[in-house]
Structure 1
Amino acid sequence: MDDDIIRFILGVIGNITSMVMFLSPMATFWRICKRKSTGSFSAIPYVCTLLNCLLWLFYGLPMITSHNVLVVSINGAGSALESIYLIIYLVFAPKKKKAVIFLLVSGILAFCVTIVAVTIAEFPRHDRAIFVGSVCVVIGTLMYASPLLVMRLVITTRSVEYMPFLLSICSFFNAILWTSYGALKKDKFIIIPNGLGCLLGAAQLGLYANYHNGMASQGRPSESNDLDVTAQNNDKTKQRSPGC
């Protein structure tokens, strides 16, 4: 089978798994809307994901790279969903938290506008992919601090309560798909962060296999605390934007 066809199939499957991950917080935000409160929920992981999606969306545009419609489509969808989540958060968050998230969102938007302006004004067409791709890799790699903290928490507590299996396995296979896509496209900027995602995903699944029995001894949280527990799960497991 032609490499272009294989790459396209991998990209489509990667888009599907990425979309599943982007949609996974919807239940939490539905509870926020019903309760009209954000509880202990933190929106910072969603601010970071929005930043990553916007940067990869820019990277996939024809003015930067060619034939990256799948990168554009999934990160465009991700940017839209993360924006919706943040708007919901801003509607129901306490005034102090609302101000913090508003400043963070304003900051990442200003950063993205700066990257776009610098790229177009300072770099010729053939050098733009190197600059934007390097920024994407740096930001994406920095965002791996989140799963590393989750893994440390699992080892410390000997429980996988804050590392849901479904999200971990989806992250792992998503990283494999996009690493393969990047390899066939010979795009090191896609390979590097997703290759790292493969390693971390495998490590998370290994931890899950080792510590999953630890959850059995912990009771089911009461219904009144469902939002807070779900919020903690999202805070501790939310990673960089899947898809790139």
Structure 2
Amino acid sequence: MAFSADHWALAFGVLGNIVSFIVFLSPLPTFHTIYKKKTAEGYQSIPYVIALFSSMLWIYYAFLKTNVTLLITINSFGIFIETIYVGLYLFYAPKKARVQTGKMLLLTVVGGFGAIVLVTQFLFKGVVRGQVVGWICLIFALSVFVAPLGIVRKVIKTKSVEYMPLLLSVFLTLSAVMWFFYGLLLKDINIAAPNILGFIFGVLQIVLYVIYSKKEKAILKEQKLPEIQKPEVIVRDENTNDNKKFPELTQEQIIDIVRLGLMICKDKVHVATCPHGTKCEAKVDENTPKLQTVDA
């Protein structure tokens, strides 16, 4: 049995839900690091605030349409998890970042979303209302993909990928592919169009991660201090021929040395004879020490 466009749309919608579910969970390692460090310094809250706002808009758009139920399921989870992320960021962020995040929440989630709902409900009706909300969703969907460009700029400036999670970039790219085909099969340009840009930005982030992670490894390798070598301890056997300070002497050489020694002693020491066989003293030169008396 051949699959119709609706069947393929359902298949890509389900896959889009699965991948988007992973996308929403991909920042977990980042927040685990924040929890361990007890600070969110160096991280940005913009992607999470924009993602929260975008999920709220897509649910509103899904309620105005009849064939995009799968948008409701995944974006309901998105609102739940993004709210947790923003809450954790506010808890661990420095005072300045906390104030900026609070202002952004008031501007987008409270003021922005509230204004969109009020304006579209009172000024537009029927299909036109859905189209207007769809175009608004398209714009803010692009903002979701553009938001990580702040991190990309930081990566290029610092030449470090510490604050750009690779998992988020990979799954955003996969999610863009799934939702593009979902929107294309449903002939909904508001769903398909932003995911083209999402795919491009996702690939860009992955490429940058590969380039700068290699550079980081190369720099760390160059800066690695050489290991301190322990002084070599050589144990030598004094009885071996390799460590003899003097070469072996022949018997004739030993005799010559002894004779030389006797000649030196003869010049220095004169032993007196004892005619009576009693004790006698050795006569020594002034330069030599006195000898003790010995029994003949």
Q: Distance in 2 between matches of 1:209 and 1:32?
A: 23
Which structure shows the higher helix fraction? 1
1:170 corresponds to: 171
- Answering whether residue 34 of structure 2 is matched by residue 43 of structure 1, we say no
How many corresponding residue pairs?
218
1:26-175 equivalences under 5 Å are: 26-61=28-63, 64-108=64-108, 109-149=110-150, 163-175=164-176
1:159·1:213 contact (CA, 8 Å) conserved in 2?
no
Unmatched 5+ residue regions in structure 2?
Answer: 222-296
Q: Distance in 1 between matches of 2:121 and 2:157?
A: 47
Supply the AA of the counterpart residue of 1:48.
I
Q: Distance in 2 between matches of 1:99 and 1:153?
A: 21
Q: 1:190 Cα shift?
A: 0.5
Q: 1:20 Cα shift?
A: 0.8
2:27·2:168 contact (CA, 8 Å) conserved in 1?
no
Q: 1:19 Cα shift?
A: 1.1
Quote the sequence identity (%).
36
What's the TM-score, normalizing by structure 1? 0.77
Q: 1:204 Cα shift?
A: 4.0
Q: 1:164 Cα shift?
A: 4.6
Alpha-carbon spacing, 1:87–1:7, altered in 2? closer, same or farther (3 Å): same
Larger radius of gyration, structure 1 or 2? 2
What's the TM-score, normalizing by structure 2? 0.64
2:56·2:79 contact (CA, 8 Å) conserved in 1?
yes
Alpha-carbon spacing, 1:205–1:42, altered in 2? closer, same or farther (3 Å): closer
1:175·1:194 contact (CA, 8 Å) conserved in 2?
yes
Supply the AA of the counterpart residue of 2:193.
I
Supply the AA of the counterpart residue of 2:95.
K
SS at match of 2:218: coil
Q: CA RMSD in A?
A: 2.7
Q: Distance in 1 between matches of 2:209 and 2:36?
A: 32
Residue by residue over 1:54-103, the C-alpha shift from the partner in whole angstroms, topping out at 9 and shown as x without a partner, is 11121111xx1112111111111111111111122223333333232222
SS at match of 1:4: helix
Supply the AA of the counterpart residue of 2:103.
L
- Answering whether residue 199 of structure 2 is matched by residue 198 of structure 1, we say yes
1:231-242 equivalences under 5 Å are: none
1:32·1:38 contact (CA, 8 Å) conserved in 2?
yes
89-98 or 151-160: bigger deviation: 151-160
Alpha-carbon spacing, 1:31–1:165, altered in 2? closer, same or farther (3 Å): closer
Q: Distance in 1 between matches of 2:150 and 2:39?
A: 26
SS at match of 1:42: coil
201-210 or 180-189: bigger deviation: 201-210
Q: 1:181 Cα shift?
A: 0.2
1:161·1:215 contact (CA, 8 Å) conserved in 2?
no
Q: Distance in 1 between matches of 2:149 and 2:211?
A: 16
Residue by residue over 1:128-187, the C-alpha shift from the partner in whole angstroms, topping out at 9 and shown as x without a partner, is 121111111222224443444555666667776655543333222211110000000000
